[in-house]
Amino acid sequence: MEGEIVVLETLLSLCLLLIGAKIGGEIAKRLNVAAVVGELLAGVLLAPTLFGGLVFFGTHLIVVNEAVHVLAELGAVLLLFLVGLETRFADFRKSGLLATLVAIGGVVVPFVLGYGLVIYWGYPAEEALLVGAALTATSIAITVKVLKDIGKMKTRESNVLISAAVIDDVLGLIVLAIVLGLVRSGSLDVTSIIWTAGVSIGFWLGMTLFGVFVVSKIINILCPRKNCQMYDAEGKPREPHKAGKHCTIRCNGTQEVSAIAMGFGFAYVAGMAGLAPILGAFAAGMSVAETKILNTIQEVTEKINFLMAPLFFVVTGTMVNLSGLTLDSLVFASILIVLAMLGKILGCGIPVYIMTRNAREAIIVGLGMMSRGEVGLIIAGIGATSGIFSNDVFSAVVLMVVVTTVITPIAMTQAYKLLNSHGKPKAKKAAI
């Protein structure tokens, strides 16, 4: 009977959380804000400490139990698998020196600022390290959307932005791997840092390279090629397709399911190695990105993420306890938000200015890298579920993600208008 009650409360919670997430996302999109912001804020409102804690006929509306948390974590894994699908290994070869320097600056400066603030405020070093890792993240999806909307996708600064964001994603995940290794080892001396960094980077790169150069080749051999014979649910050939080469797989959906299963498998291996499971999922996505079935897998994964990604974001929002915030914690959150924005503007903008002597491009690139988006929330979720973050720090990180995600599109659009207007020569007054 108790198990049946857990199932029923899980079903009701999933129903309300998903509906709330999609309503929040819809409202956000109508306000020209990223849907993830609406999904996250919906979770904050539906938290057990607010409306989710209401009781009807003796039943709590929303109970974020272990089953809901597990499904939310699967959402994070699938989301990073999708991010990996959108990241080609060849992109790193084309990035260039400037984009690499921008990415490094965008990781190092925010990390140092975030770590320093948390230590100064008196929180433990473990929290400081994870806050620093959260500040390294960049949401390229939001930046790309802004560039497309204002017709600036073909400019030099947009090329630098996109290439730097790709490298930034990978560097940020490597920093996360190192931080989690240090936190779990409980030692922060120089030897431990070097050892953990070496093991984390080596294992993750080894897994990624194995996937990109070995697993992807196996997938290309096994999976159907163009003009391959297709089969129905009973295994009978479907017309009018003609048989082609390498038609090894006959069951519909096998390649899609196998690719996602590979994402789960890589996530498991990463978790067993002491890394975050999302790192393994990202490596699996990069592996599939090198195959001929990329478009098919990407389409299926995007549809699955229509369900799983909002669930992750809304559940993350429910972990925010606004009732426990104090004036001191609000001041801390405000300073963290300012440092998060300055860290990207300075860390990414200064390398651009040094290399190009173009202040306009430096400002645009710095503003474009500000948004933390999905990856920042995933790191915040890891901090909350692992017990590393206190409520004040977790709430501050979530607010930082929301504010930077909302401000970045507005700041970029206005910056382009102002900088372009200043760059144009003034028209001469006609003689009277």
Q: What is the mean pLDDT of the chain?
A: 81
Predicted local confidence at residue 237, as pLDDT: 55
Give me the helices (H) in 234-326, please: 254-272, 277-288, 294-318
Q: Identify the pLDDT of residue 1.
A: 56
Helices (H), 86-155: 90-93, 96-120, 125-135, 140-149
Higher pLDDT, 235 or 97: 97
Mean pLDDT value of segment 331-347: 94
Beta-bridge partners for 237: 231
Q: What is the pLDDT of residue 141?
A: 66
- Site of tokens 């190092």: 108
pLDDT digits (tens, 9 = 90+) for 361-409: 899 999 989 988 777 888 888 888 888 888 889 989 988 988 888 888 7
| Exposure on the CB side of residue 102, measured as CA atoms within 13 A | 35
64-78, 202-216, 415-429: the lowest-pLDDT one: 415-429
Maximum Cα interatomic distance, the chain, rounded to a whole number of Å: 92
Torsion angles phi and psi, residue 324, rounded to 5: -95, 0
> Does 157 have pLDDT greater than 60?
yes
Total number of residues shown for the chain: 432
The strand pairing partners of 55, in sequence order, are: 60
- Find the mean pLDDT for residues 309-319: 87
Which tokens belong to 22?
């999609």
pLDDT at 428 over 60: no
Amino acid 178: pLDDT? 82
Quickly count: other Cβ atoms within 10 Å of residue 392's Cβ. 20
Q: How far apart are CA 67 and CA 91, in angstroms?
A: 38
Q: CA-to-CA distance for 341 and 346, rounded, in angstroms? A: 9
Give the relative orientation of helices 391-423 and 373-385 as an angle to the nearest 10 degrees.
Answer: 170
Nearest residue to 298 via CA among 264, 260, 261, 347 = 260
Q: Where does 9-61 show beta strands of DSSP type E?
A: 55-56, 59-60
Residue 429 pLDDT exceeds 60: no
- In angstroms, how far is the first alpha carbon of the chain from the final one? 92
| pLDDT value of position 353 | 92
Mean pLDDT of the 155-176 span = 80
Query: Rg (Cα) of the chain, in Å, rounded?
Result: 23
pLDDT at residue 422 in the model? 61
Q: Which residue has the higher pLDDT, 60 or 359?
A: 359
Q: Give pLDDT, residue 266.
A: 92
Predicted confidence (pLDDT) at residue 261 exceeds the cutoff of 90: yes
Alpha-carbon gap, residue 213 to 211, rounded angstroms: 6
pLDDT digits (tens, 9 = 90+) for 178-235: 888 777 777 666 777 777 778 777 888 888 888 888 888 888 777 655 444 454 444 4
Q: Is it true that the peptide bond before 310 is cis, omega within 30 degrees of 0?
A: no
Q: How far is CA 398 from the centre of its chain?
A: 13
Tokens 């990978």 identify what position? 170
**Cβ atoms within 10 A of the Cβ of 167, count?**
22
Residues ≥6 apart with Cβ < 8 Å to 171: 103, 104, 107, 136
Q: Which stretch of 225-234, 258-267, 318-327 has the lowest confidence by average pLDDT?
A: 225-234
